[in-house]
Amino acid sequence: MSAWLHKQRNLLDFTLSSLSRRRGKTLGMMAVYTAIVFVLASVMLFSHAIRREAAVVLAKSPEVLVQRMVAGRHDLIPARHLDAVKGIRGVQSAEGRLWGYLFDPAAAANYTLMVPANPRIEPGKVVIGDGVARVRSADPGDLMSFRAHDGALVQFKVDRAISRDSALVSADLFLVAEEDFRRLFGIAPGLFTDLAISVRNPREVTKIAEKIDAALPDTRIILRDEILRTYESVFDWREGMLLVLLAGSILAFAIFSWEKASGLSAEERREIGILKAVGWETSDVIRLKMLEGLVVSLSAFLVGYLLAYFHVFHLGAGLFEPVLKGWAMLYPKYKLTPFVDELQVATLFFFTVFPYTIATVVPIWRAAIVDPDTVMR
């Protein structure tokens, strides 16, 4: 066993010395290799992390949402629909929600107005998200004014700003009292934007949705799982769009790596001939060259993946953030929770390390089976 380990150590030492003799070619290949792994790993890490954040956020959302539809469009839902939903067996709780969008000409951005159920906000005051506070340079005690539906001026006093820790879901929030919300948009009492339903038994969500649909035929039922699948589709589309844009670079790298791995220089052929002449077996030569390819590809993979991890979770993925996160005036400023998917790492490893390593076998085998004297001449 010790003899085998000694042989492998010597083989690795010879491999490293062989790579150092071709330092320029080796470093150039590793630089291109590392850049490709960095780009692919950054996209995969960011998209997977933001999917996970969305899943965590949606886990606390209502199981069922009920919206009234009029002429195929979302309309306000009356309180009698809320009473009908509460009477359905299996519904744990149901409440009417008030939310909408308000355009702020001063910031050229849309705010998400909501009336929180808890804690209640005093009329005339507002709690703002971190993004709103940033674009308006608003501090607690400042005044913000907006035009209501009838043109009258409605003034709000900033009570506080929501912590940046929850910026992923609260960056554009504008939380007001119910009276102020109805005053802004002219919504009469007894009307809501939609209904949020909580179900006693999570396994009966689909059945409860069917009961609501039968009792209220003029409504649209939205399940939490459907919202999560929609987010998954959006992130998949954006990730795929970015990878398609990078497909040219990936293809160029594939051609470059294949040419470098499969094309042996005269110096490398002469080296193989000398090794065969001094007693090396063909299997030893193939093992040596495969080890060279493995050292290059594995080093590039590790460096590229570590750089991608630092880029995504410590620098905020600045290179790809606008594409993967979306386009908006109020970008949420937050740090993603570091998360690594083992299957994702294995997939990336398989498609970046193995092809280059395997591509070295055929040309080396062809050179190794030729007579050493012919190769050296």
- What's the pLDDT tens digit per position in 268-311? 666 666 666 666 666 667 777 777 778 888 888 999 999 999 98
Q: Cα dist. 192→91, 92, 184, 212, 327 in Å?
A: 19, 19, 14, 17, 29
Instruction: Give the number of other Cβ atoms within 10 Å of residue 181's Cβ.
Output: 21
Orientation angle between helical segments 342-352 and 282-313, nearest 10 degrees: 130
Which pairing describes strands 64-70 and 219-223: parallel, antiparallel, or unpaired?
A: antiparallel
Q: What's the chain's average pLDDT? A: 80
Q: What is the pLDDT of residue 221?
A: 93
Where residue 7 falls (left for φ over 0; alpha for ψ -120 to 50; beta otherwise) is: alpha
Q: Number of C-alpha atoms within 13 angstroms, CB side, residue 68? A: 17
Q: What is the pLDDT of residue 269?
A: 65
Q: What is the pLDDT of residue 364?
A: 66
Among 89-93, 310-314, 340-344, name the one with the lowest average pLDDT. Answer: 340-344
| Residue 62's pLDDT band (cuts 50, 70, 90) | confident
Who has greater pLDDT, 76 or 349? 76
Who has greater pLDDT, 247 or 314? 314
Q: 149 with 102: CB under 8 angstroms?
A: no
Q: What is the pLDDT of residue 119?
A: 77
CA–CA dist 365, 228 (Å, integer): 51
First-to-final CA distance of the chain: 38
Among 2-16, 20-34, 110-124, 226-240, name the one with the lowest average pLDDT. Answer: 2-16
- Answer whether residue 133 shows pLDDT above 60: yes
Who has greater pLDDT, 373 or 164? 164
All domains in the chain, ordered by first residue: 9-58+232-376 (no CATH), 64-222 (2.40.40.20)
- Answer whether residue 150 shows pLDDT above 80: yes
Share of residues in the chain with pLDDT > 70 (%): 72
| Residue 120's pLDDT band (cuts 50, 70, 90) | confident
Average pLDDT over residues 327-334: 57
- Answer whether residue 50 shows pLDDT above 70: yes
| Residue 373's pLDDT band (cuts 50, 70, 90) | low
- What's the pLDDT tens digit per position in 76-117? 999 999 999 999 988 999 999 999 998 888 888 889 899 988
Q: What is the pLDDT of residue 49?
A: 80
Average pLDDT over residues 109-127: 88
Q: What is the pLDDT of residue 24?
A: 73
